[in-house]
Amino acid sequence: MAKRLLKQKKKKRSPLRRLGRGLYTLLVILSAVIVLLWLGLKLASRRPSTAEPLIRPASPVAATDDPATLDVDESKQNVLERKDSTWTFLLAAEDQVSGSTDTIMVCTYDTVNQKIGLVSVPRDTLVQREGWKYYKLNASYSNGNAYYPPDGGIHELMDTVSEVLGIPIDHYVLIDTKIFVEIVDAVDGVDFNVPVRMNYDAPDQDLHIHYEPGWQHLNGQQALEVVRCRKNSDGPGEYPDNVYDAYPDADIGRTRTQQEMMKAIAKKVLSKPQRVNSYMEIFSRCVKTDLELGNLLWFAPLALQFDFEDLTTATLPGNGSATYQGHSVYELDRAGCLEIINQCLNPYTTPVTEDMVRMIRGDR
């Protein structure tokens, strides 16, 4: 009897000891789950592809040059070398009214040095594509869709932008503008410095935008209105004769606002990684891209480490009062654009030069 009582006493453990053992078991299970999730992400993540390398135009060979002295495999010298782990992206937002692209940006992400360049390309940029009859960059999307549906538009836009800038475009992200509303609402709004007074009413579009300049907390719909606004309608006369530019530099000012808004939203999104499921659900409905889920998983840990102080933004400079064959266009300033391309976008180990870009001049 005494032995049985002694045996029972040995089996009893203090509450503190039982708690410690339970916590240890829970820690082991959680550790196993974390390891399995990490392995799953590593297996699912996939390094994104890059576009075919462009060929630097061959330098003219003088008539006196001796062909025997030329490198037999000269074409290899003209293939431009890419920087390690650097990608280029076309970011575009579709204009729901016109079917063209209302916003066009190019982004280069150097994942080794954690540098991002984001450059706006004015939508009225003068272009000239062989076999096509449009002269404004934003028309490349609608024309491509008209002739090569369903995805011809975005690919025509990618090719046109690549030709203008002299760099390959690896991937595209085509945004439905309602993503601004849903993403901003998902992060409980965004603080933003509205740069100019906005006072626009378009009865035919049921569009009404009214903001004073300065810092404001914007919900999703308000953020969309701010990035869309480029005109005011409180001038003399009746609509549409009372419409004038909201920014002193017209649409170029709006592109700066769009860049700043994207930066503000991205910082807010990355500050709330616990809402990733909501972001992915919105992304799946409002964004078209040729990036696969595995590519996004590959970029995700790098993006979470990114410091927005290393984000450089710019707009391609030019003349917004130019014309071409009777069309009002934006003529790019070649020297100014080359400087920005090499500072912000160049994915090559060598500079982009004037012979690599295709920037058309307007009428003189």
Number of domains in the chain: 1
Q: Are 360 and 341 in contact (CB under 8 A)?
A: no
Residue 37 resides in a domain = no
Whether residue 63 is contained in a domain is answered as: no
Asked if residue 338 belongs to a domain, the reply is yes
Range of the domain at 191: 76-356
DSSP string computed for 158-170: HHHHHHHHTS---
As a whole number of angstroms, the distance between CA 353 and CA 26 comes to: 60
130 contacts: CB under 8 Å, gap ≥ 6: none
Which H or E run includes 11? helix 2-11
Within-domain flag for 277: yes
**Inside any domain, residue 149:** yes
pLDDT of 61 reads 39
d(CA 45, CA 48): 9
Q: Name the nearest CA neighbour of 138 among 124, 152, 126.
A: 124
The whole model's pTM is what? 0.78
Q: Who contacts 317 (Cβ-Cβ below 8 Å, separation ≥6)?
A: 332, 333, 336, 337, 340
- The reply to whether 141 falls in a domain is yes
Per-residue pLDDT of the chain (364 residues; tens, 9 = 90+): 555 544 555 555 666 666 556 555 656 555 554 544 444 454 468 899 999 877 766 544 333 344 344 344 444 457 789 999 999 999 998 876 666 788 999 999 999 999 999 999 999 999 999 888 899 999 999 999 988 888 899 999 999 999 999 999 999 999 988 888 999 999 999 999 999 999 998 877 778 999 999 999 999 999 999 998 989 999 998 888 899 999 998 888 999 999 999 999 999 998 888 888 898 899 888 899 999 888 988 888 888 888 888 899 999 999 988 999 888 999 999 999 999 999 999 999 999 999 999 999 998 7
DSSP 40-88: HHHHH--PPP-PPPPBPPPPPPPTT--GGGS-TTHHHHHBPPBPTTEEE
Identify whether 14 is part of a domain: no
Q: What is the CATH number of the domain that holds 315?
A: 3.40.630.190
**55 part of a folded domain:** no
